[in-house]
Amino acid sequence: MSPMRYVHLDPLPLAEGEEPTLATLAAHGLPDKGFSRTLRSTRLRTIMATPTKQSARQSNKSAAPTDAVTLLTTDHKEVKKLFESYEALVRADTENSEKQALALQICATLTVHATIEEEVFYPAAREGLEEQDLLDEAEVEHASAKDLIAQIEGMEAGDELYDAKVKVLGEYIDHHVKEEEDELFPKVKRAKLDLEALGGELAARKHELQVEVARESAA
């Protein structure tokens, strides 16, 4: 399994204005392991480590149990909005630093999402479904998306083809999400899987990844 880079789908467990510290992490009883190859970008670290009023509200909301399909579908909607925001920045001819910050947030968000699917959701779906083709295809599509994400993360926003790569990544993700939501998720819903318990596992792993990122940003 490839190590995560980041991801900020949900807020970190911090009060508004609170900086992540090792003491904070210890207080949450979180594991002492980091993202080895993660967050090279200070800008992205800032994005991920800075809780906002909105994220605090989301944090309270995310305390409610969410089934696996709902959680993943919500992730899909969130990243779709991020891609739309990026397109708006391009149309407005926004400066590169702002575009790059958003592109990195997109990459990080996708990386976390792909990771929780690969570590938690897909293995459970494989056990619950006889048909494996959709899951095989999903994993191949994840690998291709990760290649493009790595390219974007290694570039500067002013580089040639930067905007094009972000756009193509968005189109690629649109295609992948459509297959998940139209084909895979309905099959999983019909299978004998405990989607509530699976949703809890997904949420826990996502939270853990976010805190690991916070730890790195605080180091």
Interface residues toward Fe ion, by CB under 5 A: 117, 180
Q: Which two tokens stand for residue 107?
A: 């990459």
Residue 100 Cβ vs Fe ion, minimum distance, rounded to whole Å: 24
Residue 15 Cβ vs Fe ion, minimum distance, rounded to whole Å: 30
Q: In terms of CB distance, is 57 or 178 closer to Fe ion? A: 178
Cα–Cα nearest to 116, from 209, 8, 217: 209
State which residue has the least CB distance to Fe ion: 117
Q: In terms of CB distance, is 176 or 207 closer to Fe ion? A: 176
Q: In terms of CB distance, is 4 or 14 closer to Fe ion? A: 4
The angle, 0 to 180 degrees and rounded to 10, between the axes of the packed helices 42-49 and 195-218 is: 130
Q: In terms of CB distance, is 117 or 163 closer to Fe ion? A: 117
3-state SS record for 171-218 = HHHHHHHHHHHHHHHHHHHHCCCCHHHHHHHHHHHHHHHHHHHHHHHH
Residue 205 Cβ vs Fe ion, minimum distance, rounded to whole Å: 14
Q: Which two tokens stand for residue 159?
A: 């580089």
Q: In terms of CB distance, is 180 or 212 closer to Fe ion? A: 180
Cα–Cα nearest to 80, from 9, 142, 170, 144: 170
Q: In degrees rounded to 5, what are phi and psi of residue 9?
A: -90, -40
Q: In terms of CB distance, is 149 or 214 closer to Fe ion? A: 149
If you compute the radius of gyration of the chain from its CA atoms, what whole number of angstroms results?
17
Q: Is 21 left (phi over 0), alpha (psi -120 to 50) or beta?
A: beta
Residue 138 Cβ vs Fe ion, minimum distance, rounded to whole Å: 5
Residue 181 Cβ vs Fe ion, minimum distance, rounded to whole Å: 8
Q: In degrees rounded to 5, what are phi and psi of residue 117?
A: -65, -45
Residue 95 Cβ vs Fe ion, minimum distance, rounded to whole Å: 31
